[in-house]
Structure 1
């Protein structure tokens, strides 16, 4: 009852069919049996310690330098993929372009302060040196006040443009713009992407 019938037993014709199918598979281009899982794992296994440690260190150092140069170039170009969190976002991008397109009082703050401090070290007579130091202090504080006023005005104009473009102003974007405005233009990072007078898009 439960025994297989003679018709279910493998025949010579079935064996010939299987052999022909295998031959066709080999002829079709595979040419080898499917590797076992054990064979695949052995092929993918790599030694923890490379045979040539010095060459491996050199290769790792070159790869790290290449990655670092690519990141620096991407950051300088303003590529979002390479920017730190503080520089990311469309509003930060707009703020950078807005600052870089205008002349700011703050970008001259550091050079002016350095020059005035150097003046105080010149060998003037004592009375003259005291007078010069007083004037230098007044000029520095006056320039600092102008920088603050310029940043406040710029922040107001930037906020207006951001509301027109995005409908809202992201928190901290005006402070972000002010900090960029007091940096020398060649030292800004990401590098300026617009020319003076060019309106940001």
Structure 2
């Protein structure tokens, strides 16, 4: 009544498919489905260039060319390549206004250097004269500040009449005063008008 167990080899030979399926057989797409981590790794791209040395040289070259363009623009007055804080008709008008007048502040550095030398040289031999040199220097600084204030009052009135209050923006006071305290040959952008010339 009870049949005996079939031999494994005989069972495989008499299976309905005629052959036991191989767990490593490739079915469907003709290739095994890749694991998720393998697929993600294949799709990843490097965030930095593989050749960092060449990329660094290219970035340095581009930065150097940009700086050269800006410097050349500051020399010639070409606003298209100037830094943003120097662009626009308002700031160009400020530069022309400051460059067209004599400013006490622009001579502050050389005068301060002269009086500093006098103070040091006279400190032991003539202390009274050294103290007087300091007083004169401070007086000059006060006069230069007053001159800058007078300059800005006239300039602000002009800018309001020419461009309107809403077009002026911020930072114009410091922009004009800093330029008035710089020696004319050292100003950037370079002065485009002669002394005694007022912008139209």
The TM-score bracket by the shorter chain reads: 0.5 to 0.7
- Normalised to the residue count of structure 2, the TM-score between the two structures is 0.65
Structure 2 CA distance for aligned equivalents of residues 125 and 88 of structure 1: 47
Structure 2 CA distance for aligned equivalents of residues 179 and 57 of structure 1: 36
* 1:166 corresponding residue in structure 2: 163
Q: CA deviation at 1:71?
A: 2.1
Larger radius of gyration: 2
* 1:126 corresponding residue in structure 2: 124
Q: CA deviation at 1:75?
A: 2.6
Higher-helix-fraction structure: 1
Task: Confirm or deny that 1:142 pairs with 2:131.
Answer: no
| Cα gap change, 1:125 to 1:198, in 2 (>3 Å) | closer
Task: Identify unmatched segments of 5+ residues in structure 2.
Answer: 1-48
Structure 1 CA distance for aligned equivalents of residues 99 and 80 of structure 2: 21
* 2:75 corresponding residue in structure 1: 76
| Cα gap change, 1:160 to 1:127, in 2 (>3 Å) | same
Structure 1 CA distance for aligned equivalents of residues 197 and 70 of structure 2: 27
Cα deviation code 1:170-194 (max 9, x no counterpart): 3331221111000001111111011
SS of the equivalent of 1:199 reads coil
- Normalised to the residue count of structure 1, the TM-score between the two structures is 0.64
Structure 1 CA distance for aligned equivalents of residues 59 and 157 of structure 2: 49
Q: CA deviation at 1:127?
A: 5.2
* 2:92 corresponding residue in structure 1: 93
* 1:178 corresponding residue in structure 2: 177
Structure 1 CA distance for aligned equivalents of residues 123 and 61 of structure 2: 58
* 2:194 corresponding residue in structure 1: 195
Structure 2 CA distance for aligned equivalents of residues 125 and 158 of structure 1: 42
* 2:14 corresponding residue in structure 1: none
Cα RMSD, aligned residues only: 2.5
SS of the equivalent of 1:159 reads helix
The count of corresponding residues between Structure 1 and Structure 2 is 149
Verify the 8 A CA contact 1:158 1:174 in the aligned structure 2: no
Verify the 8 A CA contact 2:106 2:181 in the aligned structure 1: yes
